[in-house]
Amino acid sequence: MIQKHESIVIQVVARALVPLILLFGVYVIVFGHYGPGGGFQGGVILATGVILHRLCLGRDFSHRTLPPGLAGGAAIAGLLLFGLMGIVPMVFGGAFLDYAHLPLPGYSTVDLRYLGIGIVEVAIGLAVMGASVVIFDSLAGGDSDA
Amino acid sequence: MKFLVFFVLGVFAVLMFYATTSLPDRGDPAAPANVYVSPDYIERSLEDTGTPNLVTAVLADYRGYDTLGETIVIVTAGLACIIILLKRKDYDTKT
């Protein structure tokens, strides 16, 4: 079980850094269209923010703020979202993962594929973040309230 | 026995180094890997998907099926960690 770090400096710095790291992770995910980045990298950055929180502020506090069940839920939700992005176009007459057949009226084919890529990147980010945090939580031990 | 292992390793090393001599040059535009679908991706990805980043367009759109598999692998790794490592309260009392 991870205790809260005894140094007040590390606690304060961790509290200040974690929101910035999480924000940067979100930025990396949504910036994948225009530069280096995307779901995998952004998801790992989000997970490092959560793990820093766990390591510096102790398990009890960290599990209350960012519950471990939420990480598992995020992993499954990301995978389901990705699967839905594959199946929904199939229902509406396209191929598997063919974002151009998403049932959103008023969008051109290019816009639909642009949107589909964005949703898929978010789904990958959720899945990677959730899986990494779940792996850390189970390695760190302690009994489960997940 | 040890001699045999090193002999087999040597034979395979020679075979692989011989095979590398007939590989195409790096960045050769006439290489088989560069004439099949890559030119289409490079030419059409912006007008097809509206995404300036070619890597993202290939990863999430043209090769989305592959990426779905990768995501399943990662989530499965997380689930396996839960199953193997997480202690449950009702098991702790019995063992």
Reported as a single tens digit per residue, the pLDDT across A28-72 is 999 988 888 888 999 999 999 999 999 999 888 888 888 888 999
pLDDT of residue A142: 60
Reported as a single tens digit per residue, the pLDDT across A4-16 is 888 899 999 999 9
Decide if B63 contacts A63 (C-beta within 8 A). Answer: no
Contact list, B92 vs chain A (CB under 8 Å):
143
Which positions 99-118 of A are in contact with B (Cβ < 8 Å)?
99, 110-111, 113-114, 116-117
How large is the average pLDDT for residues A93-109?
A: 85
- Average confidence score pLDDT of chain B: 85
Among B45, B82, B94, the residue to mutate for chain A (most A Cβ within 10 A): B82
pLDDT of residue B89: 60
Cα A24 from Cα A47, distance rounded (Å): 11
Q: How confident is the model at residue B10 (pLDDT cuts 50, 70, 90)?
A: very high
Cα A18 from Cα A64, distance rounded (Å): 15
Cα A83 from Cα A80, distance rounded (Å): 5
Nearest CA in chain B to A75: B75
Reported as a single tens digit per residue, the pLDDT across B48-59 is 888 888 888 888
Cα B51 from Cα A142, distance rounded (Å): 44
Q: How confident is the model at residue A126 (pLDDT cuts 50, 70, 90)?
A: very high
Cα B30 from Cα A98, distance rounded (Å): 31
Decide if A80 contacts A122 (C-beta within 8 A). Answer: no
Q: Where are the domains of chain A?
A: 8-140
Amino acid at A18: V
Distance from CA of B88 to the nearest CA of A (A): 6
pLDDT of residue A23: 95
Nearest CA in chain A to B64: A97
